[in-house]
Copies of this chain bind each other. A is one copy, B any other.
Amino acid sequence: MLQPILNAPRLSASCCEAMCQIEITDELGAHRAVLIPAERALTVFIDGRELVTLMTLGASPELLVLGFLCNQRLIEFAGAIEAISVDWNLAAAHVTSRRPAHRVASDPQRIVAGGSGQGSIYARMLAHVNAVKLPRIDEARIRASTLRQLLDTMRQQEGIYRRARSVHSCALFQGETLLVSVEDVSRHNALDTISGWMALHGICGGDKILFTTGRLTGEMVIKAAQSGVPIVVSRNGVSSMGIEVAEKLGMSLFGRAVGRRFQCFVGCQRLALDD
């Protein structure tokens, strides 16, 4: 079993029910029960100070918070945190930092949180991302057959999406092997949770492939790069800023990937077509 890093933060284990049932009325006036994803507000406090409120399914709230702190560049590594304790009765995640050496940044100017196109600290993330070193092209490639196998694997996942829709999923692969997958209300949360998992276990991204159901916007691509992953596959499309960041860092982005088909948006040197 995978072990956390030395000096890893202590995490509570406060996952909760990801779906609930409602009764809908359809266009003919008929009633029936459907499942929908749960959505909960989780306010993050660092050393007693309010940082941000995340809206989440609550499947892995501690890893979400850890990944959020990493991806927003509020901490440099998981060891900067002593503990993350989530209490759903208070809708709060209490983060304790290891002081004084690794005190978590708490400049209010930095506490502007990221999201799907809103409220980003994009400029600061971009500044950092320039320092990211990803593996050279010949060190990290993907075969078209691997990409298809990965899509097959994700299609077979018995997830929340299948039953309740309206969630995004994100997964980390090593070759054709699924290492971890997560679903959440937003594509950002799902990716942050994967980043949190990687940080907790000290997993390097260089030989990994990231899968997401979400669009490859600038921030999504930056987050993948920050976790060191050079290859990202999406079921969805890409924005110009996603392309821009990937080009700058020598990443490969694949999208519109459904069934046997896919498009390589940028960095197709990392793609090995089947014979």
Contacts and interface: CB of A to CB of B under 8 A. Distances in A.
B113 A113 contact: yes
Contacts of A108: 108-109, 111
Interface stretch (A53-61, A73-81, A205-213, A224-232): A53-61
Interface of A is mostly: mixed
Interface residues of A, number: 72
B54 A118 contact: yes
A117 B239 contact: no
A9 interface: no
B218 A39 contact: yes
Interface in A57-93: 68
Protomer copies = 2
A256 B117 CA distance: 24
Interface string A1-40: 0000000000000000000101011111100001011111
B113 A119 contact: yes
Given A24-B265, A241-B55, A119 B118 contact: yes
A48 to B, nearest CB: 14
B218 A27 contact: no
Contact of A24 (B114, B166, B264): B264
Given A112-B119, A114-B115, A271 B25 contact: yes
Nearest to A161: B237
Contact of A215 (B26, B43, B114, B166): B166
Interface stretch (A96-104, A120-128, A129-137, A172-180): A120-128
Contacts of A20: 240
A114 B118 contact: yes
Complex A-B, nearest 7 residue pairs according to Cβ-Cβ distance, in ascending order: A115-B115, A113-B119, A116-B116, A117-B186, A166-B237, A39-B239, A115-B118
